[in-house]
Each structure stands twice: as structure tokens, then as C-alpha cells.
Amino acid sequence: MAHLLEDKVVFVTGAARGQGREHAVRLAREGADIIAVDICAPVSDDVGYAAATRADLAETERLVRAQGRRIRAGVADVRDAAALREAVAAGVEHFGRLDVVVANAGIATWNRFWEMPEQQWTTLVDINLNGVWRTMSAAVPAMIDGGRGGSIIIVSSAAGVGAAPGCAHYAAAKHGLIGLARTAATELGAYGIRVNTINPGAVDTEMGNDPNVAAVLGQHPEYMNAYRMPLTSVQRADVGDISNAVLYLASDLSRAVTGSKVVVDMGQTMA
């Protein structure tokens, strides 16, 4: 039986572990070859969880190959447009095409906005918002030149749909991704390229287990109202829950879907 992404090529950022690794492996299981990048280094002292490493990225490579698919992986920072262009160019030269982009790379830090140093704000926005723009800018020309259409999946957040007290810069960036996706969907529709967002809530990853979350919410328990999840049978999504949504948007199952958001947040942002 044919896989949903048989012989497609997918570019995944932030692929060394967590959601990015799961997306790469899940799409490989469905027949895709993978171009993977990750910074594999700390980006800010404000981040409360350990950074991914080159060993993590090597494990992603191993897991993709275990699915019987090919992968080209390298170290690249989404703040470095030239590095992203080089990664895409090398991948397209090797695999011959590019069909899907999963713009996943991002960080989370915590603070009240008026108490936040400017560097904390600008670093996160440069990675989480500008980094997605750089990723798309690097990838879209190859997708257009391929003439086969394609799919761009932007990993936004429940914080891109509702309030996120304690991380206003994160919410601002993730809301910005919704606008970027909708506008890009309009601009790229003529080329058959769809653009959508995934909006996860709490996910069981290193970022999701950041101890700074408990510290900020413990100091300001009134913020917890913004993070309540009515679906109590699922305390926290796992990476597979998010990858299932990514697979839907990457495949032709969603061929009529663009400019939309798929919210996977256990009801956190339900109106």
C-alpha cells in the first residue's frame, strides 16, 4: 500500500528532538525523505531547559533511516538566512525536489512583559517569528521551481490563538505566525502551495517541561485561568498527537485546506 508521502521531500527545522524529531520520523514513515536542521546549541540564558545537541540530531538521522528513508541533516540557526538557503539548496540538489516545509524551530522563555529585558523579547521573536519567515523564504523558490505545488506547515501554538500570560513575546510571535500563514496562503495559492498552522497546547517535550513555567505560574496563580484544558482525559499531548496533525496537512488528505489553523490544545483556547 502506498504511503501518504511516497517519495516526497520534507524540510524540517528544529529537528534534533521533541516535536521536530517526531515530525521528521513520522513523515519518513509515510515515505518522505528529510532535510533536517537544528541549531544544536543554547540560544539564550533565559531558556529554562537544556538545548538540543549534535548527538540529538544524529539520533534523528538514525531514526529516519530506520524507516527506510534518506535524510540530510545539518546544523543551522533559523536566525541565519544564508545557512537556511544553503541547507535547502544542498537538500534539493541531493534529493531533486522539495514538497513540504515544517517550520518547527522555536524557543520559549517566561517573564511578565514589562519586566522583560529587551534582549529576551527580541531573541525569542527573532527565532519564533522571523525564523519562520526566513525558513519559508529559503524554501519557497525551490517549491515554485518544482512546479508540483506543496504544503507549508507552520508550528504556531495555542498561544497564537488565545492569551498567554507570562510569555507575551511568545504569544505575539505565535499570533504573528497566523497572519504570516494566511498571507502566504494567498500569495502562494497560484502555485498550488498550501500554507497552514498547527497550534499545539501543552506538549510533553523538554520545552513543555520547562521549570520556569511552574515558577511564573506559581508566583501568579491568576494566570492559570488562561491555561485550563477541559479535556481532562488528556493531561498533555504527546509529540505523536501533533505529528498526526502535521501529517494531515503535509499530505493530499488536506488538499483543499489552506490559510487555516489546526488547534491541538485539549480545548484550552475553546471559546
**Catalytic sites, residue numbers:** 170
In the block, which residue shows the cell 488536506? 254
| Residue of 37, 48, 45 lying closest to 15 (CA atoms) | 37
Please, which residues have CB within 8 angstroms of residue 251's CB and are 6 or more apart in sequence? 4, 5, 30, 151
Helix (H, G, I), strand (E, B) or coil at 53: coil
Distance CA 51, CA 249 (A): 28
Residue type, 127: I
Residue 229 contacts residue 202 (beta carbons within 8 Å): yes
Classify burial at 86, counting beta carbons within 10 Å of its beta carbon; exposed 0-12, middle 13-18, buried 19 or more. middle
Phi, psi of 51 (to 5 degrees): -75, 155
Are the CB atoms for 136 and 101 separated by under 8 Å?
yes
C-alpha cell, 229: 484544558
